[in-house]
Structure 1
Amino acid sequence: MQFKIMTVEDDRAIREMIAENLTKWQFEAFTTTNFSNVLEDFLAEKPHLVLLDINLPIYDGFYWCQKIREVSKVPILFISSRNNNMDMVMAMNMGGDDFISKPFSIEVLIAKINATLRRSYDYVDLQTDILEHQGIILNLDSGTLKINEQIIDLSKNEYKLLHILMKNHGKIVSRDKLLRSLWDDERFVDDNTLTVNINRLRKKFESAGVGHFIETKIGQGYIIP
């Protein structure tokens, strides 16, 4: 398994130095300069760990740490020249896993990355804890839906259906397959139950300002295009 490390750093020299050394240590290195929407790149790339500077253009690292923590538990290491006690405490309180002061040794950085990855992934599934499509985020841990900054609670059946549809986005999912996902302890769920839950999901999307997220394919099933 090759771990993907995402670096959020506005100093080009430091950014390129980190990426070069991560590659040497057999990591997959991804750097972003999309400082107006770091979360967008995070959701698209699904890294296993984030290296995050505090002093960034537009929004600081604390802001982006908070945004990432709203959707994921992925480990975050802060890297910053702001190394007073208040900044370190703030970094931990915002959800950071460690703090590395600039200037730093690349050997120390790699050691901290490896230690954090061991703690985070040795005994857990490496699959991401979120599904994202077109800016819609399904949190697999909490079973909640995030649309346009709104957190929407889902019933057990709504979550099951949306999970399957989002995992298979771009593909038609048959009604039979969706019905089977709703069976609990081998109890049969009738066709009307599926229709009711799909309609409830659609109403929740519409109330959040998103229409036609789930499309019906007559005689075939449903699709999230």
Structure 2
Amino acid sequence: MKRTILLVEDDMLMREVITDYFQKEQWDVLEAENGRIALDLFEQNSVDLVVLDIMMPEIDGWSVCRRIREKSDVPIMIITARAEDEDHLMGFELGADEYVTKPLSPRVLVARATALMKRTEGTVGREGDTLVYGQLTVNRAAYTVYVAGTKINLSPKEYELLLFLIKHYGKVLPREYILDAVWGYDYLGDLRTVDTHIKKLRAKLGDEGRSIATVIRSGYKFEMER
């Protein structure tokens, strides 16, 4: 199936190189050199993926991401030369699905975009009641979790944490972001709360607990080997 990407990048040379790589993989590419053009193109076309630079003239990438998220759940990949944790958190809070730091390899960018589309179009992330991945089954309507057919008893917070990790499949989530999203911004506990709950959740999931990976000096991500 041929997909359409909206590529938003003010560096003309970078934009041309990225476009060339996506077109070689049979993507249709809409190019925008600033945020205003990007929003116009998004309104006028059916887009499957947005690859969005942050530092742009007229309307910056944060504003473009926010305005797209107000009306669409299209996958968004942010690319930027800035690598600060605060920027990563900002992107996730605005609803970005992937975060890529420059300098980047166009070949790797296309591969990550393809993987993101496969995850988005797959079982995980759909709005259906049942999520299935490997031996793990989560029924969101019944609030139940099964591993290899055996029901697993989770606390409400463990259940909410698991759903949050699955929702962001393959994405590295900083501890601060997990704490704010699952426990709330006004929670007075520290980051060890996240670590403790992750440890308990892994233990209860048994062999499937390995799907919750620790990313050193970054956080956690949910990703299961196929």
TM-score (norm 2): 0.52
1:83 aligns with 2:83: yes
User: What secondary structure sits across from 1:58 in the alignment?
Assistant: coil
- Count of residues paired in the alignment: 124
TM-score (norm 1): 0.53
The 1-side partners of 2:34 and 2:11 are apart by 13
Aligned to 2:19: 19
Aligned to 1:93: 93
Q: Offset at 1:43?
A: 1.5
Q: Which amino acid in the other structure matches residue 101 of structure 1?
A: T
Q: Does structure 2 retain, via aligned residues, the 8 Å contact 1:34–1:41?
A: no
Aligned to 2:131: none
Per-residue CA deviation, residues 13-36 of structure 1 (Å, 9 max, x unaligned), is: 111111111001111111113532
Per-residue CA deviation, residues 107-129 of structure 1 (Å, 9 max, x unaligned), is: 221121011100112359xxxxx
Per-residue CA deviation, residues 83-139 of structure 1 (Å, 9 max, x unaligned), is: 111111111111100100111112221121011100112359xxxxxxxxxxxxxxx
Which consecutive unaligned segments of at least 5 residues does structure 2 have?
A: 125-226
Distance 1:34 1:78, change over 3 A: closer
Distance 1:107 1:38, change over 3 A: closer
Distance 1:62 1:35, change over 3 A: closer
Aligned to 1:122: 122
| Identical positions, percent | 36
User: What secondary structure sits across from 1:36 in the alignment?
Assistant: helix
User: What secondary structure sits across from 2:31 in the alignment?
Assistant: strand
Tell me which stretches of 4 or more aligned residues in structure 1 moved more than 3 Å.
none
Q: Offset at 1:69?
A: 0.4
User: What secondary structure sits across from 2:36 in the alignment?
Assistant: coil
Aligned to 1:111: 111
The 2-side partners of 1:95 and 1:51 are apart by 13
Aligned to 1:165: none
Aligned to 1:38: 38
